[in-house]
Amino acid sequence: MRHALAAAAARFASATPRLDAELLMAHALGVSREAMLLRWLDDPAPSTFAALADRRAAHEPVAYIIGTRAFWTIDLAVAPGVLIPRADSETLIEAAVAHFAGTAGPRRVLDLGTGSGALLLAALDEWPCASGVGLDASDAALAVAGGNVGRLGCAHRAHVRSGDWSGTNEAFDLVLCNPPYVAAGTVLPDEVARYEPAGALFAGPDGLDDYRRIAPILRAQIAPGGVACIEIGADQGEAAGALFRARGLSVACRRDLAGRDRCLVVSP
């Protein structure tokens, strides 16, 4: 198994080739990566590993191959047709935690463009007394998010339904949103461009089209004392922030762990 991992990692054009190989091997074994590293490295590699490694060598994302992705404190099912949650998006949950520090936390959470349900379900795991709504216009996303709601035992607290940037008729203590923000024509890595849904990535010539749609409805979605945490591209802090300031909203910017602008913290 050690040799198979090394050989596979050498084939992967990835920022984390060894980790990718280990996740695939653990999936082939049906055990956690940690258990595999502790107990099975000197055993023969399972016969199913080679096919998984071939798929990764063809740039298919690991999350789609193994069907899961860790995010914040939860593990989510993911599938083609739905954007894979990124660690950068955890910055939105960090911003929300900072906003509600010293309080009981939000009671109601809205996730605009919920995708896999990552942000909504991470927030509900963080605040066990909260409930929330996830909106998405994609049937594929709603199917995956609904499955994650059930898998994580949140059916009594989370409701996912079809919706777009027009929002809801309810004000929420916490609004989370990771909209498409890549400028049309941007060259993306093969594993993103070939496999992940373009509709969850691209947002017009400057990448700001969806912020332009969200800004007019946001004030009505935020309850008194509440906040919206909205993901942005690393170079969009000023341009995206200006769209919300023009609507009379207060905007601050929070950086991710790499020190890049990542989250607009918006309040009435």
Tell me, rounded to whole angstroms, the distance of Cα 39 from its chain centroid. 31
Torsion of CA 13, 15, 21, 27, to 10 degrees: -120
pTM score: 0.95
Condensed to tens digits (0 to 9), the pLDDT of residues 94-148 reads 999 999 999 999 999 999 999 999 999 999 999 999 999 999 999 999 999 999 9
Give the pLDDT of residue 53.
98
Q: Name the β-bridge partners of 161.
A: 135
pLDDT score for 171: 98
Q: Is the dihedral of CA 194, 15, 114, 148 positive or negative?
A: positive
Question: Which DSSP state fits 45?
Answer: P
Query: Taking Cα atoms as reference points, which of 115, 124, 92 lies closest to residue 163?
Result: 115
Per domain, the residue ranges of the chain are 2-58, 71-267
d(CA 4, CA 9): 9
Separation between Cα atoms, residue 233 and residue 178, nearest integer Å: 10
Separation between Cα atoms, residue 66 and residue 137, nearest integer Å:
25
CATH 3.40.50.10740 fits 71-267, yes or no: no
C-alpha angle 152/176/185, rounded to 5°? 110
Is beta strand 250-255 parallel, antiparallel or unpaired with respect to 222-231?
Answer: unpaired
Predicted confidence band at 15 (pLDDT cuts at 50, 70, 90)? very high
The mean pLDDT of 39-49, rounded to a whole number, is 95
Residues 12-21, mean pLDDT to the nearest whole number: 96
What is the Cα–Cα distance from 74 to 215, expressed in whole angstroms?
30
pLDDT digits (tens, 9 = 90+) for 178-218: 999 999 999 999 999 999 999 999 999 999 999 999 999 99
Q: Using one digit for the tens of pLDDT, what is the confidence trace for 46-71?
A: 999 999 999 999 999 999 999 999 99
For residue 71 the two structure tokens come to 């995010």
DSSP code, position 107? S
74-95 per-position pLDDT tens digit: 999 999 999 999 999 999 999 9
How far apart, in whole angstroms, are the C-alpha atoms of residue 85 and residue 82? 9
Alpha carbon distance, N-terminus to C-terminus of the chain:
56
Q: What gap in Å lies between CA 211 and CA 241, rounded to an integer?
A: 9
Tell me the CATH number for domain 2-58. 1.10.8
Give the integer Cα–Cα distance in Å for 91 and 26.
Answer: 28
